[in-house]
Amino acid sequence: ISGLTEERGRPPRRRSGSVPPRPLERSVPKTPKMIFQFRSTEQMTPALAEMRPDYIYLPMDLMVTEFDAMMPFVEKGAVPVAVLPRIIYDRETEDVRNKLASLYQKGINECLCGNLGHIFIAREVGMNVRGDFGLNLHNSWAMDMARQAGMMSATASFELRLAQIRDLSKSLDTELIVYGRLPLMVSDQCIMRESAGHCVCHAPCQLSDRMGSLFPVVKEYGCR
C-alpha cells in the first residue's frame, strides 16, 4: 500500500506532440442532396414522393415488412437505405443479419449505421455503409476516420453549430440533419407495456416532463 501511495504521488509524465494536419477535403457539390427519413408508411405520402428526394432512409424492419411502400419514391429516383437499429444485442445479431441479407437480395445495398460495431454485420451481407448521428462525429479527424473505415458518407453531430459544420474538412460526403425531431434516449424497457400492463407498441404514446413538454415515444427494434 505504501508503494502504491508513493506511485500515485508522482506527477505523470506529460507527453507532447503536434496536431496532425487537417484531412484533405473532397470537392463539395454545389447542390446538396435531399434525404427523407421515415419511421412509418403513413409518413410516406405521394406528395413527398413528388418532391423526388435523392435518398430515403427506412428502418430495417419496416423495409422488410413494407417493401412495396417505398416503390413510389424509388420510381422517382430515390435510393433506398436501410437503417439499422441503434442497439443490437448479441442474441439479435443473427436476426439482423438475416433481414439485411433478404433486403440485399432484393437490391438494397446501402445501410445506415450509428454504431461502429454494426458495420461488420452490414458488410457480412455485402452492404455499403453510411454513418448515422450515433457516431457523434465532431471534427475533421473524426470524419476522416469514417472515411478510412470505408463509409460512403457520415452525419455530422447534431450538437455542432452550422458554422462548425461548414468549417469541417469534408473528406467524405457529409450529411446534416436539418429538420425533424431528434431522439432523446433509448429505453431497454418497453415504457408502453410497463404503463398499460400489456404491449401496445403501435399505439400513440408520449412522456411529459415537469415543465409540461411532451415527448413522443415510438417503438424501436427489440420492443425498446
The 10s digit of each residue's pLDDT in 186-204 is 888 887 777 777 777 777 7
Phi, psi of 214 (to 5 degrees): -105, 140
CB burial of residue 105 (10 Å; 0-12, 13-18, 19+): exposed
Q: Is residue 27 within 8 Å of residue 66, measured between CB atoms?
A: no
The 10s digit of each residue's pLDDT in 60-78 is 999 999 999 999 999 999 9
The 10s digit of each residue's pLDDT in 83-104 is 999 999 999 999 999 999 999 9
Q: Would you put residue 98 in left (φ > 0), alpha (ψ -120 to 50) or beta?
A: alpha
Give the CA-trace dihedral at 94, 98, 104, 106, to 10 degrees: -170
Give the CA-trace dihedral at 131, 135, 136, 140, to 10 degrees: -60
Q: What is the DSSP letter of 12?
A: P
Taking the CB of residue 48, how many other CB atoms lie within 10 A of it?
17
The 10s digit of each residue's pLDDT in 143-184 is 999 999 999 999 999 999 999 999 999 999 999 999 998 988
Chain Cα centroid distance, residue 126:
18
Determine the average pLDDT of the residues in 119-127. Answer: 94
Q: Is the pLDDT of residue 222 over 90?
A: no
